[in-house]
Each structure stands twice: as C-alpha cells, then as structure tokens.
Structure 1
C-alpha cells in the first residue's frame, strides 16, 4: 500500500494524485482534511486548526520557534492526525508515504519508519522547516521539466537547492488530469471573433467583476468566458461575457479558448499545457512566492506572458492579440513543459521506491516489542 497526503488548499494537490493514481501498480490511499480525491481510497484526517486560531501566538507557538510551519501547542487536531495516520500505516502495511505538501507530514512519516516522497513546489524553500523536511525525504518529486531548473536563478526561482537535494530530485514534467484526453473543437461558445477564458480556482485571487467588465469592453473582437468565482461575487453583466461559475469539467473551455487567463497555480498551468493553449499568467500572492516563481519559470521558458497585476483596460487588446498570434507554435512549446507522460513518470518513481522498501513488520507482532510495566512497588 502507498499513502498519499494531499494538502487541502485549492484543488491542485488533489488533482495531482488523481492524475498519477491510475498509473500506479499497487493500491494507493489518499489522505487529508479536504475534499476526497476521486478514484482512490480515502483516509479523512482531522483538521490541523480546530482550536489554535482562538488562542494567542504566545500560547500556540505555531512554528516551534521557526523550526516548523504549523505545529501549534494545545491543538487537538495535530494529535488526531498523527494518531489516524499511524494507525492506518500499521493496519495497511504501508510501504511509502507521498506528501503533497506538508513538512510536518514528511517528518511524521519518517518518524513512523516510512520512506517518504516530497512533492516539490516552486518558490524560495530555503527556510529551516523546508530544509529539514526535504532532508528527511527519500526522494523529491518535481512536477516540471528539469530544464526549467537550469539557467539563471534567483531566490525567487524554483531551484532545487543543495547538491544532495538535486541528487534526490526526480523531474517528471508537468502532468494533468486531462493528459491523453482528446482535444475538443466545438466553438459554439465563441460565436464571434476570438475567445478568452478566465479560469479562477479555489486557492484565492483578487479578480473582481469590474476588472472583467473593463477588459471585455476594451476587447470588442473577443468573447469572454469566466470559469470560477469572482472575488466580489457580483455579476459581470456584459454582453460579451459568459459566467459559468464553478465548472466541474473545464476541459472544453481550455480547448476552445484562443487565450486562457488565470492565476499561476501549478494545477492550472498543467491543465493549460495539456490543452496547448496560449496563457496569460496572473501570479497571486502565495507563501514562499510560489506563483511568482512558477511565473518566472514560464516566462524564462517562453511559455506564457506574465502580468504581475490585472492589466489596465487599454493593455488588453495588444496582450490578447500577441498571445493568440501563433497558436501552433505555442502548442509545440507547451510540449516541452508537459508531454503527456509526466503522470506515468511520477508513478514509476513512486512505485519503484515502494518496491525497494518492503512493508515494516507491523501488526500484532509489533505489540510484542513494547515494554511491559512490572507491578508497582
């Protein structure tokens, strides 16, 4: 059995598990405190912030003096998570724990005697907690091409860090739940001119209805679709804009768009790469400059145009026309980021490590190893 921890912020972590699961050659159980992943067994974990927000920082000490990211004192959810994972690991004969993403879960896995795989994220991960967590991992899985980690770097870049860390890193290329799915060519949703699709995930953003309305008014030759919720929950109310709300299957919109616009999260970038569509990246504020670093990688690789903030109305026509100028060239470039085999490569890494580590001899026999207290005197 393989365990796979999924962070509950946004949906990209869960989608990665779903993309890899069908390629694994042994059972996998996902776990987390968010929405269950589809197609795998699921172990629900207690939230890790049941009580702590109501307490003062001096009491909870959430970072353990800077050594960790989230380990507040007096938080019952932390104990519940550890108990649940430990009991499951013993009962299932777990061989390997993949962690996407949590330094604390990496450390828990290692302390339980499990080999761990850390799924990497772009950004500056040189803080003590990341250094510690990555140092304990058996392998590091980078869901982007290795070429993106070469060339000029900065602290904001994704760089894999020390030589030891790089030697344990496996670059798979990006992968998406849509890899291998046939392209859809029905453009009935774009009745006139070109089509821009704004995709807004669940991880947080700052796009308002007025922003979309101004962009649509400035681009008379374009038809707009909005997938996801705007931050102010107001209707755009523009004749050239179709608001879909949350879309269970965004693939048709990605395929038929002349340009996709959206935050620079790893999940959306992988989905756009699978569709091969031109992309205007709008990196949103995230811990460790994650989206800014990913946008930097895409810009350096010539895969996207990056706007650090929502563009002014007068800038939109030129931006969209520039992006849509050569769609065939854009699709070819996206293949260098995601060639459709990234999930299979990730599965091969995980399966190979699981085979190399037989399950620990837990179960009833483990109880015999526990010391038995003698009678009190």
Structure 2
C-alpha cells in the first residue's frame, strides 16, 4: 500500500514520528511513503524520507481578507472542526494540494498526525485514513468526529499511559504503538560522555569536577562498587525543547537551591537571566548520553522527549508544559502514578526534607538500584533499545497488503476486536 502521512506543523515532533515509522518499512516500501506538511524545510531534517517524498503544503494562517474567521463562534463554526476560516486562499490551496497529490501519487491510506480538518477533508473525499491520537483529554466534538471517521486510531505511547477519561470505544479502536525512541547506532561510554561535557565549557573548575567524577567512578569500579554515592558532583540534566522552555527556566533558581552541589547541565534554549543557575548551557544533536548517564533528569512531558527517556533507569522529574487538552499534564500524571517520575512538588518536598544534607544524599535515596555509569554493561536491555514491536508489526502489515480493504478486514479489525455495521 502507498501511505500518505500528514504531519502537523506545530513543533518538529509530528515529522519526527513520520520518520520513525518510515524507518520500520522495508527500503522499497519506504520510498512509497509521502509526507504532507507545512513545517518549514529548515525546522526538521528527515533521515529516512527524501525530498521527493515530501509535499510542502501552503500555510493555514488566518488572513485579513477572510470572509469568516477560523473560530467564528457557535452559529458560524461547524461543531466537527476546530478551525475553519471561510475564503482563506491558503487553506483553499492546501486542500487542493492534499487532494491532488493524494490522487497523483495514488495514496491508498492516509495517516493523519494530527488535524481534524484534514481528517474531515479525507472522509468527505472518501480517502481512508488512520488518526494519530496524542496523549491528553481529547473528548471534544471535533476530535470524536475525527476518531469516528477513521478506519482506526494510532497511539504512539503505551496503553498504560492512557488518560482515564478516554471513552471505552476510543480505547478499543486504538492500536497502541508504544514509545518509539530515536534510533541510536551505539550509546557512547561514560568516559566519552564526560569528554563531551568537557568540550561544552571552558571553565577549568568544572573540568576538574568532571575529571574527579571520572576518577571516582574508575576507583569504584576497581572496588566492585559501581556507584560512588559519596561523590558530590552528581550530574543533573535539564532537557528543554524549542516549543517552550520558560516554565522550566523559571524553576532553575529553585533547582540550584535544592541541589547546591550538583553539576547542572541545561540542554536547549535558556533565558539569559537564569544562565548563572546552571554550570553548562548547550545545544546538542543527541541527548541519549545525557539521558543514560545523568544522575537526575528534569524535563517537560513532550511525546518525543518522554519516548527517549522512558526505557532508561535514570530518575526523572517532570514539569509538564501547559498544552491544549492537558496533553503533557496527563502524561506526567501517568508517569508519576507508575512511579516512573516525580512531580516538581514531590521533588522539592523530598529535597527540603533532607534539611542540610547534600545532593548525594538525595540522589543516593533515589538511585539505590541504578548504576548509570555502567549502564552499557549492566543495563544493556535499557540501552539496546529496539523498535516498538507493536509499531513494527503495524508497519509490517502495511507492507504485506496491497489492498486497503483486505488489510482493514483481515488485519486491522481482528486487532481491534471491532467490526463496522454493514
């Protein structure tokens, strides 16, 4: 089957998800996949999709000459749509682009990540589609209509992180693909990680602390004690994306007060007024070593970020961004309930209850069973991350079938345990 993938332009995460799924296809079938997006070309670089496989769509921003605005109120806004300006030439162009390219490229099945408007356009044009469900509480009429119009729903996260309020029929119609972490060829060693940190700063004192940390680990390894809990230079990494970082930056002074002896690394954008609260501020292409070898992570609850951190042993403090439909809040609540993460309030309570004890005391309490320095050897199952079997099985099924109808009836419906009325 020829697959079309609509990737929303808010952030790069939707294009990244398309890239991850495409990587699971055999090479020959991968070339038959088309990505539709209005994300600027310099905002994400695909690793498995060529430029010829990308359709750059017109923007959909509101224009002064629109006859009716995109959100015009109860008596002018269809209940099945979130945003539907009338007379908007950009929206008209992108709709024509979508339908014309679907026809020209002979797309058999669309995957929509995410847009109820594109879903309704496909359903009206009788184009089969699957709809990607993000985390959160998406029980509004437009989402439910898009869900109902789909052949099936895809959740790029584990079933156990599902929102409690999700209707039973939506759960049953969903294929849970589990997290799909970014592929890494080989995780660097802990010494390589320390060397990387040293290149990120010219501060000689920090260099000494990092070398001391490496020496401490080497001595501990010789004594068969892989974790040096008395070492005060624990590494705390703060990971921020480009979709919003102000909320986490605002916590950096409090983080420094809570863990005064830690070596704090900030990855991603950072506000100038809090730069002095961290020891290293940098931008890196690969956060995997930081996730694997840090003693503590602080991050928001974006889908791709959590997907990368979820299978590692590193303790996690989550500070979800405010997003529509409580997307990150719901993810954070589920992680906390599982015991996989601490909320910011829990973290502050635990550190304040230690009174005058130092960083190593807090991290010793939370890291008793974790040996991140030797994770390459003793935590191989955590670092040799394999693609989600659910996602792989799904993409294998796409490659196995030529007919959408046969795939729908013979593969998808048995997976869901549902059958539409005739």
Fold equivalence (TM over 0.5): yes
Structure of greater Rg: 2
1:341 aligns with 2:412: no
1:236 aligns with 2:275: yes
CA distance in 2, matches of 1:121, 1:61: 22
> What is residue 227 of structure 1 aligned with on the other side?
267
> What is residue 254 of structure 1 aligned with on the other side?
291
The gaps in structure 2 that reach 5 residues or longer are 198-208, 214-232, 406-422
CA distance in 2, matches of 1:315, 1:37: 45
The gaps in structure 1 that reach 5 residues or longer are 361-377
> Which of 328, 334, 340 is matched with 1:303 structurally?
340
1:83 aligns with 2:96: yes
TM-score, normalised via structure 2 length: 0.71
Give the secondary structure class of the aligned counterpart of 2:190.
coil
CA contact (8 A) 2:137 2:325 kept: yes
TM-score, normalised via structure 1 length: 0.79
Between the two proteins, the alignment pairs up a number of residues equal to 344
> What is residue 61 of structure 1 aligned with on the other side?
71
What do residues 168-209 of structure 1 show as CA deviations (whole Å, max 9, x unaligned)? 211121111136643542342371421111011122232365
Larger RCO: 1 or 2 (CA < 8 Å, sep 6+) = 1
> What is residue 137 of structure 1 aligned with on the other side?
150
Give the secondary structure class of the aligned counterpart of 1:255.
helix
CA contact (8 A) 2:321 2:329 kept: yes
Q: Displacement, 1:20?
A: 1.7
1:51 aligns with 2:90: no
CA contact (8 A) 1:180 1:340 kept: no
Structure 1, 29-38 or 128-137: larger mean CA deviation: 29-38
CA distance in 1, matches of 2:343, 2:248: 19
Distance 1:28 1:214, change over 3 A: same
Give the secondary structure class of the aligned counterpart of 1:237.
helix
What do residues 256-289 of structure 1 show as CA deviations (whole Å, max 9, x unaligned)? 2111111111110001124442211101100000
CA distance in 1, matches of 2:176, 2:353: 36
> What is residue 33 of structure 2 aligned with on the other side?
28
Normalized per residue, which structure has more helix? Answer: 2
Distance 1:218 1:124, change over 3 A: closer
Give the secondary structure class of the aligned counterpart of 1:46.
coil
1:352 aligns with 2:397: yes
> What is residue 168 of structure 1 aligned with on the other side?
173
Q: Displacement, 1:219?
A: 1.7
